[in-house]
Amino acid sequence: MTAPVETMYPTRRRTHAGWPAMLGRASDSTHDNAMESISVECPAKTNLTLSVGTRNDAWGGRHALDTIYCALGLYDTVSVTAKHPGSGFSLQIEGEHLGDLAGSNSDMLRNHAVLALLALSRACGRQPDAAIRIVKRIPVGAGLGGGSADAAGTLLALNSLWNLHWDMERLRELGADLGADVPFCLTGGYARGTGYGERIDTLDPHGERIARLYEEGFTQRMLVGAYHTQLSTPTVYSAFDRLGAGTTTDAGSNDLQRAAISLHPRSGTAIRTACEAGATRSFISGSGPSVIACVRDDRAEAAVRHAWIRSMAVDRIISACAPATPIMHAFPRVTQ
């Protein structure tokens, strides 16, 4: 086992009103018509709290959830480029840690971004003539919503590229069919998720609810302990159905924590190690196996990082700030 690789990601620009920031030329009708490519930097998510209820047959057997989402400044970049009519779609994925995404093209139709492209194409009556390029930085199969971020980034990019002008409520309705986390990933920030996670109520980052979480040890500064191992979300939920959430010590603020640790014990070691080193909170992110450690300052961050490296409790260490929102870049058509 090799020592963890340390990766740093800076804080990114945030915006308001639930929409991503658009960088570059101001949008007008002439610019929109000339637009050829949109790039979206879509952040990872974690769940500061996650309460899991019973299965609901009306939701395809998914569990009822009550969660506080938080978007992290750790980004995948999704770029969507217009193609000639009738030429179909293509997918290119790049990154150092692709996990099962490094498979053959036979898996392309299962990719979250491609599913988003096809879903929006059907919904708006357009042909899916687009090239998708994804630069992966969010760990795969890690409980950080990387696939959902890619789907959300694709929807946001196509909404601009195709001049659809769909509002966020309509995009979220479509996104909910793609995955429980997709509606949140469209806007990021902080939000409460209910239903099976798809019903989103945006939370004011300066409001009382978030202030209480800060008092409980959650911070805007976080370390992500990531792994080469992936955990399947359905597998974790199956383990939860057998084991339950357990005690408060077992679950912390995440009812899936006990199940995830039963499948990936190193995550439990990473949580204990982080807390002993000075993290104010440490917990499984979503369905795991990634671990979040909340730190208040440089000294605490250095101590947790050193403890994780020394104990080899994680494979990669990523520093991120929260909250974060998607950022869009527009690239106009180049005239030959």
Catalytic positions, written as ranges: 45, 181
CB atoms inside a 10 Å sphere around CB 81:
16
Token pair, residue 30, equals: 């002439």
90 forms bridges with which residues in the sheet?
131
Token pair, residue 225, equals: 């302990």
Query: Distance (Å, rounded) from C-alpha 179 to C-alpha 54?
Result: 18
Query: Distance (Å, rounded) from C-alpha 290 to C-alpha 54?
Result: 24
Give DSSP secondary structure letters for 189-214. Answer: SEEEEETTTTEEEEE-TTSHHHHHHH
User: What are the CA-CA distances from residue 321 to residues 22, 23, 88, 299 (Å)?
Assistant: 20, 20, 38, 16
225 forms bridges with which residues in the sheet?
291, 317
